Chains A and B, each alone.
Chain A
Amino acid sequence: MAMGRYIGVRLLHALVILALVTMLVFVIAQLIPGDAVMAAMASSVDMNDSAVVARVRHQFGLDQSILVQFGNWLTRYLTGDWGTSIGTGQKVHAMFVQRLPVTLELFLGATAWSVVIGIPAGIVSALKRNSAVDVVVSTGTMIGVSIPSFWEAIMLIYLLGVVFPILPPSGYVPFAENPLLNLKSMVLPTFVLGTHSAGLLARYVRSSLLEVLGQDYIRTARAKGLSERAIITLHALKPAMIPVVTVIGLAWAHMLAGAFFVEVIFAIPGLGRMSVDAIFQKDFPVVQATLIAVSINVLVVNLLVDIVYGYLDPRVRVRQ
């Protein structure tokens, strides 16, 4: 199938999914008990006038039916007005624009760490299978996967922020304002987020490489007398990376959940924190806006992964 048509179809599907998921979330979230206004008020100063509560509810349109609320929200969203957050009182669009670059930087840094640590670790442990090196590397990557991120975070904060104070313990400074401080502040958060996927990646690379090395054409190449190094670099690595692409894509798609913990511990004002807080407060404008962003992220990444997959291994190009 022509690539252009393929992408077109996928984008159409993406729009449908987006619409469905958005509506579904809106409806399901109604099941969550609670009153957004009462909750937010209860957390600031105590109130003793239900008339004011009613007035604020009206201001946010919470006294209308679900259908009306959704309709209003949708029309406004499509015209660029993403509404006002019930929990913080800021404009959702502004909140989003402030936090998106922060979370993006976090994701990119984490992916970089995971690739830089994970892939070499996986290769080494595959090539030295069952040796002491393999055990050490495997155990190391497994610890990376199983250690809770908030734990790893606080350990690193104490080690590199308090005891040997070379990095800031927490906080975020925009890159434009102070590039050096921004990078220094992001070292630990991206590392913590990245070690998790690094562990996963290493396991998959190891497994995948071992599989490939067991293939017949590898044996043929060996029989022909090619050096081990040539075999690995020329014939084994590329096919071995195929499932790796999937894993990186999946890790990116799921990263927001892990990002939440990292953002909370390191006091980084990102989308993860914003979306979780919003969900608990039933802060619909924020929840919906984040949902759409996350969905677009997931759908685009999955599309890219499928395309790259097809490129890497022509045998799996999607066919009708």
Chain B
Amino acid sequence: MDSNPDRREFVLGFVAATFGAVLAPQSAAASGALRDQPWAVWDYKDKPVRGGYFRTAVERYIGKMNPNHWPVLDWISMGYFHERLMLTDGEYKPTVPWLLEGLKFEDPQTVLMRLREGVVFHDGSKFDAAAVKYQMEWIRDPKSNAWTAAWLVPLVSIDVVDERTLRWKFNVAWAAFAGVMANVPGYAMSAAALQADVEKYDSEPRGTGPYLLEEASPDNFLKLKRNPNWWFAKASGNPEMPYFDGIHVSVIPDPAVRLANLRAGKIDALTLDKSQYAALKDDPSITIYRIPGNHVNALRFNTTKGVFQDIRLRKAVSHALDRKALIAGTQLGFARLASCMFPGDHWCHNPELAPVTYDPALSKELLAEAGHANGLTVRGYYINTTMGQTIAEAVKNMLAKVGIDWQVDLLPAAAAAKRMQALDYELATGGWTFIYDPDLMPTGLYHPNGGFNFGRSKNDAAIALIEAGRSEIDFDKRQKIYWQLEKVLYDAYEDAWLWWEETLVAYRKNVMGWDHENFLRYRDAWFWAHPLWFKNGKA
């Protein structure tokens, strides 16, 4: 079959940010060549040196290593040996082809996908169209028990056009396609390995990533070693990548003990607990970076059963919350005030919305107006982790000040899930983590079919917009739909959004290569394209 003469990268360009985020306007990439990407710059002051095992620690063991099986509890380690077809940019938009050279919509229900050449799986098999087709069909097969099958529902067929080209056909206009390819189904797995022994793949993965699995000890550690045939090293002209000889991920459940390990020099990098920042910030051997996260923390209302069917009471709750104080107290200042559900640096965030104001006087007025001048009692639950308890207590206290008694039960995850399903609450834990393609969160939270809704929210205008956003292929138009969706939810006080997350990461000073400015600008793309190294090649 003739390969499409139009080998140009299709411009999946994006709009320059107008709000105060750290984005720079980007022009469309002119060709598929890696080196033309704006983040493909490696002019380091000190030359990278090979060597050393990079040691880090996490709270939980990864679990399963087939990303489509569940549970997977450590996605960062997952990214060391599995890579995605597409990556997201600084606005979380799926516009950075990684294992792909590019994709283009021939029509709203058909996509032509071009794979990068020279990519090999860890078991030596080729990353080609046949492998990708096999993987996607494997995901869709109910016998595979892939939880990601739900994300490929619109798929009708995949045709191999040639060794590096595929034609995808959908049964609807699938706007989220690129986003899905930048998410879990897009992790390229060796078809040969899947075919040989699917069950073994859960503990012996074969991806395309910079590191291979060396040894896995459940609940204890994960040991990875350098992939000498990493495609990106050759394609980017940096043959020495990755620079570490390997990565050692220890499982250490307690945050104080993780910090002790960092202090003792037993690990080289660590995600900090926010309360540890004060003790560590003046340590001369450590640098701490503040990274905005794509998680939103919110309180959810049950808008179809109970008192919160009345918007005045939802408003009362939302205005009774001093978000700044909550961030100062529970997050020690390390979070960003949220206006609505999409984080401020996400491309679907509506810049015209401002965070709900703190106005307890207004809350009391609204309460009285709605007939609860003598106070209101509402029931609910919150997750019983240390942070969850702190937030719940702070919120309860704030609500009490305007006369709302929030009878919140602190529950473990299993019990909380049950309550959520049974709609047995009026005000409870809310929010969303890992916000990538804009369809997933709104559907999950506000659509009747959503996995986290169970009927507690039924805003018809929002539902219509969610469905519209699923089929709008054009990025600009799609963005406008989600801006409107945010406005609808915001005006309806559908939930009380509190803040967008931030994480603190500490690196020992002998870990080189981190460029915070460019990381913030290009995120994922920058991260995976710029492996770190040890000064002098040893830990």
Contacts and interface: CB of A to CB of B under 8 A. Distances in A.
Contacts of B441: 46
A44 B434 CA distance: 10
A274 B149 CA distance: 30
B404 interface: no
Interface in A214-268: 264-267
A165 B220 CA distance: 21
B142 interface: yes
B451 A45 contact: no
Contacts of B142: 55
Given A34-B417, A52-B147, A157-B260, A89 B219 contact: no
Contact of B421 (A35, A172, A281): A35
B39 to A, nearest CB: 26
B256 interface: yes
A41 B433 CA distance: 13
A181 interface: no
A269 B71 contact: no
B414 A280 contact: yes
Interface in B412-426: 412-421
Contacts of B254: 150, 264-265, 267
Contacts of A171: 220-221, 250, 252
A20 interface: no
B42 to A, nearest CB: 32
Interface stretch (B2-10, B62-70, B457-465): B62-70
B297 interface: no
B432 A46 contact: yes
Nearest to A265: B254
Interface string B397-440: 00000000000000111111111110000000000111000001
B443 interface: yes
Given A33-B415, A56-B147, A169-B266, A46 B251 contact: no
A41 B257 contact: no
Contacts of B420: 38
A266 B257 CA distance: 7
A43 B73 CA distance: 8
A43 to B, nearest CB: 6
Given A46-B444, A53-B451, A280-B414, A168 B150 contact: no
A46 B440 contact: yes
Contacts of A34: 412-418
A47 interface: yes
A25 B40 CA distance: 58
A48 B444 contact: yes
A169 B412 CA distance: 29
Most buried by B among A32, A33, A51, A274: A33
A87 interface: yes
Contact of B202 (A50, A89, A150): A89
A50 B219 contact: no
Contact of B218 (A49, A55, A95, A264): A95
A288 to B, nearest CB: 17
B497 interface: no
B63 A89 contact: yes
Contacts of A162: 260, 263-264
B72 interface: yes
B450 interface: yes
A53 B266 CA distance: 40
A158 interface: yes
B415 A32 contact: yes
A212 B266 CA distance: 51
Nearest to B267: A169
A170 B413 contact: no
Nearest to A51: B150
B71 A169 contact: no
B309 interface: no
B236 interface: no
A48 B250 contact: no
A98 interface: yes
A47 B149 CA distance: 11
A319 to B, nearest CB: 48
A39 interface: yes
Interface in B126-148: 142, 145, 147
Contact of B72 (A38, A44, A265): A44
Contacts of B257: 154, 157, 169-170, 265-267
A300 B206 CA distance: 45
Interface string A278-293: 0011100000000000
Given A41-B70, A42-B417, A44-B73, A90 B412 contact: no
B413 A43 contact: yes
Interface residues of B, number: 56
A282 B414 contact: yes
A161 B261 CA distance: 8
Contacts of B413: 34, 38-40, 42-43, 280-281
A152 B210 CA distance: 41
Contact of A267 (B69, B250, B440): B250
B66 to A, nearest CB: 10
A89 to B, nearest CB: 5
A201 interface: no
Interface string B445-470: 00001111000000000000000000
Given A43-B71, A43-B413, A56-B145, A48 B418 contact: no
Contact of B266 (A43, A154, A168, A281): A168
B194 interface: no
A269 B251 contact: yes
B184 interface: yes
B416 to A, nearest CB: 8
B424 to A, nearest CB: 10
Contacts of A90: 218
Given A264-B254, A269-B219, A38 B261 contact: no
B374 interface: no
Interface in A1-58: 32-36, 38-53, 55-56
Contacts of B64: 89
Nearest to A87: B71
A52 B260 contact: no
Contacts of B386: none
A180 B414 CA distance: 41
Interface string B46-86: 00000000000000010110000111110100000000000
A53 B150 CA distance: 11
B88 to A, nearest CB: 16
A304 B309 CA distance: 64
Nearest to B450: A48
B69 A47 contact: no
A168 to B, nearest CB: 7
Contacts of B329: none
Nearest to B443: A48
Contacts of B253: 264-265, 267, 273
Contacts of A53: 451
A139 interface: no
A55 B145 contact: yes
B217 interface: yes
21 contacts: A34-B415, A35-B414, A38-B420, A39-B412, A43-B73, A45-B72, A46-B451, A47-B444, A48-B440, A48-B443, A48-B444, A52-B149, A56-B70, A88-B61, A88-B63, A89-B64, A154-B256, A162-B260, A165-B264, A169-B260, A170-B257
Given A36-B414, A49-B150, A50-B449, 15 more contacts: A33-B414, A34-B415, A39-B416, A41-B70, A42-B413, A43-B413, A45-B147, A45-B434, A46-B440, A55-B145, A154-B256, A170-B252, A170-B257, A267-B253, A281-B414
Q: Which 6 A-B pairs have the closest CB atoms?
A: A34-B414, A38-B417, A39-B414, A49-B150, A269-B219, A48-B451
